[in-house]
Structure 1
Amino acid sequence: MTEPLRLSRRMSELGLCSRREADEWIARGWVRVDGKVVSELGSKVLPTQRITVERQAAAEQSKRVTILINKPVGYVSGQAEDGYTPAIALIKPENRWADDPAPEQFHPTQLRSLVPCGRLDIDSVGLLVLSQDGRIAKHLIGETTSVDKEYLVRVQYTKPGKLPDSDLKKLNHGLWMDGKPLLPAKVRWQNEDQLSFTLREGKKRQIRRMCDMVGLKVVGLKRVRIGKVKLGNLPEGQWRYLGADEVF
């Protein structure tokens, strides 16, 4: 027998929306199971049952914005902590990139339910994504994400000589963290003191910890790409909307 699942969880699994959005839509009577409206939170469904959503839900989802910030040092990506300012505080009209081609007009309601899709350490800079669309958050930070992220990392070798090729290979594959092997990464020299890291996972302070394991000290870290979306010429401390033609 196949076990029934919570309707909101099943909707998230199908990529229709986030669980939070699903609960909202169910409460509004916008969700049908096998053609019948289901409006009770906590309802369960079988994986074989057909789930559809009313057009209002799709219309509301299409109005949700996704914003890209070039985060400076000193801002946290999520909730305010230890007196540090969250990156969302940068999203105001005067910080919008003058060359943003998106037609959207900024409105304070766009800050509602705008959540960071992944973290960027307080002492790191570069591309940070915040979205009102639960599907994008799930796509970028879900456990099964296939979206890679690229970082430029300025380093100093703390031992005599140069980093051995064997240690560069370890950075690509072979290191363990928190009791588990890390997924393969792509790590290569950009110039004599800068590495490019491309990762598919994002453990806390992962790159700094990886570098530490092979005797490298990180002196600067910048995220330049998430999937197909690049930081490009977006100035530090400024933001723009994700374009309608851009996909991660």
Structure 2
Amino acid sequence: MTEEPTEGVRLQKVLAAAGIASRRASEMLIDEGRVEVNGKVVTEQGRRVNPETDHIRVDGARIPPPRRHQYLVLNKPRGVVSTMDDPEGRPTLTDYLPRTKERLFHVGRLDTDTEGLIVLTNDGEFANRLSHPRYEVPKTYHVQAAGAMDNKTIRRLEKGVTLEDGKVQPDNVKLVSRAQDRTLLAVTLHEGRNRVVRRMFDAVGHPVDRLSRTMIGPIRLGNLPVGETRELTRDELGALLDLVGM
């Protein structure tokens, strides 16, 4: 018979502190078998856990550990350089961040002419994993391309486009709208080669007029105004930690 840990924090207290439910309601979740610790369902009350290292889930959703770092989403405007400072004096990400004593850095980049979702954090391990090709974190872009793109060209994009540095295979290409002078598509891919979306559309003869990143993994830009920031939600952070194996 395996002994339960005698140190740590009671599970219902951890759930309450994470904002899942009140302590009494958290006890009911445990009674109902809806809580897992390190892959095993917990139904007994009083189980003690280490919220920093144990993987806790409610209804399958990961509950992240108490935050020791900052995790922000910025809706980057067009014309802003994806750096924290710029010797040429151009607008940078720092100009749009809340004042903080913590030194934040961006995860990945967006072209100066590309707007949309970018993640900033002071958690180095999280940033390294989120940007590493090994974890293949999908990213979705809304692409406004020049001209009315026919279905044959859209299928060509779906099948993948060979560029000078190799083939690009999108995860998904979806037509949003089509007019005489422009086509709007949602494109999801999991790689981050330089200007890869723009080069894909150049290759099929429909240059990008406007490009916005709207999703990174489970993070959605939603209705966040251009130039504004917000913190990652508990569910977003938990899902990302799963995605990058933390």
Per the normalisation by structure 1, the TM-score is 0.63
Residues of 1 paired with 2:68 and 2:165: CA distance?
42
Give matches, 1:206-221, under 5 Å: 206-221=196-211
Is 1:63 paired with 2:68?
yes
Q: Is the 8 A contact 2:115 2:213 kept in 1?
A: yes
Contact 2:84 2:105 in 1 (8 A): no
Return 5+ residue gaps in structure 1 as ranges.
Answer: 1-54, 94-107
Looking at structure 2, the residues matched to 206 and 92 of structure 1 have their Cα atoms a distance apart, in angstroms, of: 31
Q: Which residue of 2 aligns with 1:236?
A: 226
| Paired letter, 1:190 | V
**For residue 92 of structure 2, what is the aligned residue in structure 1?**
86
Seq. identity, %: 33
| Correspondence 1:1-248 to 2 at 5 A | 62-81=67-86, 82-92=88-98, 108-110=100-102, 112=103, 114-157=104-147, 162-192=148-178, 193-246=183-236, 247-248=239-240
The one-letter amino acid of 1:65's match is: Q
Answer whether contact 2:76 2:226 (CA < 8 A) is retained: yes
| Greater RCO (Cα-Cα under 8 Å, separation 6 or more) | 1
Note if contact 1:173-1:185 (Cα within 8 Å) is conserved in structure 2. Answer: no
**Deviation for aligned residue 1:79:** 4.3
Change in CA separation of 1:191 and 1:237 when aligned onto 2, cut-off 3 Å: same
- Asked if structure 2 preserves the Cα contact closer than 8 Å seen for 1:117 and 1:136, the reply is no
Question: Which secondary structure does the structure 2 equivalent of 1:198 belong to?
Answer: strand
Per-residue deviation, 1:117: 0.8
Q: Is the 8 A contact 1:126 1:223 kept in 2?
A: yes
**What's 1:38 paired with?**
none
Give the TM-score normalised by structure 2.
0.63
| Deviates further, 63-72 or 74-83 | 74-83
> 5+ unaligned residues in a row in structure 2: which ranges?
1-49, 54-65, 241-246
Question: How far does residue 214 in structure 1 lie from its aligned partner after superposition?
Answer: 0.7
SS at match of 1:223: strand
Cα RMSD of the aligned pairs, angstroms, is 2.3
CA distance in 1, matches of 2:162, 2:73: 31
Equivalence for 1:4: none
- Count of paired positions: 172
Matched position secondary structure for 2:101: helix
